[in-house]
């Protein structure tokens, strides 16, 4: 473990590689009187909706923990943005969180230069030709509400006030649980300076809410074992906290929060975490039983975790038939709760009113993915059988599912187009060839063949039941089902 005093390095102001584009933006929270006036005046302002990841970045900027940087907004929204225009920044529910007074509208970051930090916390902003970057003064209006562990959430000013009574404050900023080796180091460092420990958990959204909550409980359990004067607080951790300026940023944040110096943890605990996630046994010499129990609750063995199996393929490829056959086999086993989200059935209920344009098809698959992820979040096994022609949208579904802490298996039902067209059970291929149906996948709309699915099957020379057996065997081999 090494330590660095926050004053040894300059605070993170204007250090982004695009900072030269920004005309010295400033940021901070408005007092309540000004905030109320801004809310009242905002009804006619242009606005931009932020994602949860954007909000994480924005909150740290407004708290003075990260440097302001250009914000990415949709290009169509930028047409009304002149110098001095107030842009309302809203959370996913429509609440205005902040105001950006535009100083300059910039071109999007070239894809070759994108680092994922050009929209607050949005890894996909860099290189987006449909977005522009906007720089200017940021004024916070409404602090985002974080409902979990509210007792452990304090603003930087509140923390500084609380910690000011201590002569020495050592800070540890971590996104993982701490184990015995960490505790031994912490105990020695705190005792040497008779210091107060500030333990800051960095909440990474990509880890999933269940995992970050488990880490919080594990850190509380660790502090009970450590038994030194301490303060635990939680801090959102956007992606750019973990770029190549990681250590510099964390050193500066520790200072802003009121610490005398920051301690850097060793790597031993990372290996312990990995073993627990993998379901491997961990000795009592490596961690505390209470810490391990909290982490294992968030990382059950695969056969107890949620899973989404997405079947993709052309119309008539046999996706639904194989999915139904697999559902039957799973019901026979009786060890998993199974939900089937078939493309046709979903369109009658969840996606009623959507057409078959590329945009509507993508929306349909995203809806299926969202519902599947929520079922899998609670341990369910979900079989999805849409055409899902776009690789990018399939990747979005994978991300949704994995962010929910569940597994994702992509099965490509690779029946060739000519076979699907010969079957034509619904007569749609004939209508597409005759021009009576537009945007039909495989005829006049593209299908992105999966490059690296977890499994590839076809129903030309293999029966649907045999294909289902192949999928079942694959799930057993991957640990998602127990062997029978």
Name the helix (H) or strand (E) containing 456. Answer: strand 455-457
The answer to whether 402 and 371 have CB atoms below 8 angstroms apart is no
The answer to whether 89 and 68 have CB atoms below 8 angstroms apart is no
Half-sphere exposure of 280 (CA within 13 A, CB side): 10
Q: Beta-carbon neighbour count of residue 298 at 10 Å?
A: 20
The size of the chain, in residues, is 484
The whole-angstrom separation of Cα 8 and Cα 245 is 15
Q: Is 315 annotated to bind ligand?
A: yes
Please name which of 274, 279, 311 lies closest in space to residue 296, comparing C-alpha atoms: 279
Please give the C-alpha separations between residue 168 and each of 24, 96, 198, 223, 232, in angstroms, as whole numbers.
Answer: 34, 39, 10, 18, 16
Please give the C-alpha separations between residue 31 and each of 34, 36, 140, 396, in angstroms, as whole numbers.
Answer: 6, 9, 9, 39
The answer to whether 413 and 457 have CB atoms below 8 angstroms apart is yes
Q: Is 150 annotated to bind ligand?
A: no
Q: Is 320 annotated to bind ligand?
A: yes
Q: Is 357 annotated to bind ligand?
A: no
Name the phi and psi angles at 313, rounded to 5: 170, 170
Please name which of 35, 22, 26, 24 lies closest in space to residue 97, comparing C-alpha atoms: 35
HEC readout, 105-121: EECCCCHHHCCCCCCCC
Query: What is the DSSP annotation of 373-440?
Result: HHHHHTT-EEEEE-----HHHHHHHHHHHHHTT-EEEEEEE---HHHHHHH-TTSHHHHHHTTSS-S-
Q: Is 316 annotated to bind ligand?
A: yes
Q: Is 313 annotated to bind ligand?
A: yes
Distance in Å from the first CA to the final CA of the chain: 47
Residue entry with tokens 């009121």: 258
Residues belonging to the binding site for ATP are 313-320
Residues belonging to the binding site are 313-320
């Amino acid at each position: 473990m090494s330590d660095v005093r926050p004053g040894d390095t300059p605070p993170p102001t204007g250090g982004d590689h695009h900072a030269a584009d920004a005309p010295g933006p400033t940021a901070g929270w408005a007092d309540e009187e000004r905030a109320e006036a801004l809310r009242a005046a905002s009804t006619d302002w242009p606005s931009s909706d932020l994602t949860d990841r954007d909000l994480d970045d924005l909150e740290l900027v407004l708290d003075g923990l990260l440097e302001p940087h250009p914000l990415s907004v949709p290009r169509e929204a930028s047409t009304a943005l002149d110098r001095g225009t107030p842009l309302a920044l809203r959370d996913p529910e429509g609440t205005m969180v902040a105001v950006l007074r535009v100083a300059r509208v910039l071109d999007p970051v070239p894809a070759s230069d994108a680092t994922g930090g050009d929209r607050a916390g949005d890894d996909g902003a860099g290189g987006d030709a449909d977005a522009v970057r906007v720089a200017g003064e940021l004024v916070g209006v409404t602090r985002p509400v974080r409902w979990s562990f509210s007792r452990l959430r304090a603003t930087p000013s509140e923390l500084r006030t609380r910690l000011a009574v201590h002569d020495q404050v050592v800070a540890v900023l971590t996104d993982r649980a701490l184990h015995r080796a960490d505790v031994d180091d912490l105990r020695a460092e705190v005792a040497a300076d008779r210091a107060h420990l500030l333990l800051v958990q960095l909440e990474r959204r990509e880890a999933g809410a269940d995992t970050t909550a488990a880490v919080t409980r594990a850190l509380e359990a660790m502090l009970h074992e450590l038994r030194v004067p301490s303060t635990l607080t939680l801090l959102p951790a956007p992606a750019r906290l973990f770029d190549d300026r990681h250590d510099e940023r964390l050193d500066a944040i520790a200072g802003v929060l009121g610490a005398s110096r920051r301690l850097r943890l060793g790597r031993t605990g990372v290996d312990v975490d990995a073993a627990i996630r993998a379901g491997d046994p961990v000795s009592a010499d490596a961690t505390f039983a209470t810490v391990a129990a909290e982490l294992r609750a968030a990382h059950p063995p695969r056969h107890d975790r949620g899973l989404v199996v997405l079947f993709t393929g052309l119309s008539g490829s046999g996706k639904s038939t194989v999915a139904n056959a697999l559902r039957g086999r799973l019901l026979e086993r009786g060890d998993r709760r199974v939900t089937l989200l078939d493309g046709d059935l979903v369109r009658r209920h969840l996606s009623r009113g959507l057409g078959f344009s590329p945009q509507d098809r993508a929306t349909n698959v995203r809806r299926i993915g969202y519902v599947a992820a929520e079922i899998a979040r609670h341990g369910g096994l979900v079989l999805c059988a849409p055409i899902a022609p776009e690789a990018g949208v399939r990747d979005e579904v994978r991300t949704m599912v994995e962010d929910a802490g569940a597994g994702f298996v992509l099965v490509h039902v690779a029946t060739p187009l000519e076979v699907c067209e010969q079957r034509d059970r619904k007569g749609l291929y004939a209508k597409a060839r005759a021009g009576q149906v537009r945007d039909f996948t495989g005829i006049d709309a593209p299908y992105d063949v999966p490059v690296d699915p977890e499994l590839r099957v076809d129903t030309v020379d293999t029966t649907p039941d045999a294909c289902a057996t192949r999928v079942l065997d694959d799930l057993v081999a991957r640990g998602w089902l127990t062997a029978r």
